[in-house]
């Protein structure tokens, strides 16, 4: 899709990170370093939630920024810089998850045999863990954080990405839709289902059945 000059100019004026990326396009190394400083931690955090491994997330983050650098000469601002960047993050994470899934295919049968009667569905595992907890004991912050992370990881890939962009990056429906290549209405439906799934997973741990 071609980007009009007026659209590019609008984002250049509105978004300081777009202006930095335009300097990167002109081979400004300091501007690229500044963008990495601003976004590296955020990118690693989102990737870790998506792939489940910190070391892999850090490797993938390097791949993301290499893609940003390699595509600098063709960069034209058609959105906020963060929207463009997390579109790359989404693609890199999807490729990595497909690669991991292919590697795990040969292990599925053995893993299923070893798991015995343990529920295979992540949501079921959360519910099983919840049923064994003392209802009168208050969870501390680290326990609750771990439970929330497990609940987020139980979402499917699209739901998880939408939640991460909404909660961590505070993106609008429109920006999430552009990042994920979906319509705004589809993103609203996706987030609605994700929130319902999270509420179901977390409800046993929360007083009065509410999700913060």
HSE-CB at 162 with a 13 A cutoff on CA atoms is 26
CA-CA distances (angstroms) from residue 39 to 43, 45, 59, 105? 6, 10, 15, 33
> What CA–CA distances, in Å, run from 17 to 26, 34, 154, 212?
14, 9, 33, 31
**What is the reported pTM?**
0.72
Inter-axis angle of helices 81-104 and 29-51, to 10 degrees? 40
Rounded CA gap, 176 and 82, in Å? 10
Q: Is 194 inside a domain boundary?
A: yes
pLDDT at site 104: 62
Q: How many CB atoms lie within 10 A of CB 85?
A: 24
What distances in angstroms separate CA 109 from CA 114, 115, 156, one per listed residue? 9, 10, 21
In order along its 212 residues, the chain shows pLDDT tens digits of 578 889 888 999 999 999 999 999 999 999 999 999 999 999 999 999 888 889 999 999 999 999 999 999 999 999 999 999 999 999 999 998 888 777 765 455 455 555 554 444 544 444 444 444 434 445 565 666 677 778 888 888 899 999 999 988 899 999 999 999 999 999 999 999 999 988 888 887 765 444 44
**135 assigned to some structural domain:** no
pLDDT of residue 49: 87
In a domain, 117, yes or no: no
19 domain-assigned: yes
Q: Which one-letter DSSP state was computed for residue 52?
A: S
The answer to whether residues 79 and 178 touch, using CB atoms and an 8 Å cutoff, is: yes
Q: Which two tokens mark 144?
A: 């609750």
Within a domain: 134: no
Distance CA 17, CA 120 (A): 43
Structure tokens, 139: 């969870």
Q: How far is CA 44 from CA 21, 198, 203, 212, in A?
A: 19, 22, 29, 24
Residue 165, C-beta contacts closer than 8 angstroms, at least 6 positions apart? 46, 86, 171, 175, 176, 179, 180
60 lies in some domain: yes
Tokens of 108: 């599925």
CA distance 62 to 133: 40
Quick one: pLDDT at residue 203? 80
Q: What is the pLDDT of residue 42?
A: 93
CA dist., res. 10 & res. 16, Å (int): 11
Give the domain CATH number at 99. 1.10.1740.10
Token digits of residue 138 = 């208050």
Residue 161 located in a structural domain: yes
What's the domain range around 82?
5-109+140-208
Check residue 182 and give its pLDDT: 93
* The total number of structural domains that make up the chain: 1
Judge whether 20 lies within some domain.
yes
């Amino acid at each position: 899709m071609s980007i009009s000059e007026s659209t590019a100019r609008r984002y250049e004026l509105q978004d300081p990170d777009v202006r930095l990326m335009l300097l990167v396009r002109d081979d400004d190394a300091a501007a690229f370093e500044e963008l990495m400083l601003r976004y590296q931690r955020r990118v690693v955090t989102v990737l870790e939630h998506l792939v489940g491994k910190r070391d892999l997330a850090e490797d993938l983050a390097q791949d993301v920024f290499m893609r940003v650098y390699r595509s600098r000469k063709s960069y034209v601002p058609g959105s906020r810089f963060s929207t463009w960047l997390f579109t790359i993050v989404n693609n890199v994470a999807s490729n990595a998850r497909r690669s991991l899934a292919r590697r795990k295919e040969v292990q599925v049968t053995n893993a299923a045999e070893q798991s015995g009667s343990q529920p295979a569905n992540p949501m079921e595992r959360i519910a099983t863990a919840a049923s064994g907890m003392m209802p009168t004991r208050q969870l501390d912050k680290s326990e609750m954080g771990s439970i929330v992370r497990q609940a987020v990881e139980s979402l499917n890939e699209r739901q998880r990405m939408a939640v991460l962009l909404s909660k961590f990056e505070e993106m609008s429906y429109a920006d999430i839709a552009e990042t994920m290549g979906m319509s705004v209405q589809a993103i609203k439906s996706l987030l609605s289902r994700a929130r319902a799934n999270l509420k179901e997973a977390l409800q046993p741990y929360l007083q009065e059945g509410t999700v913060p």
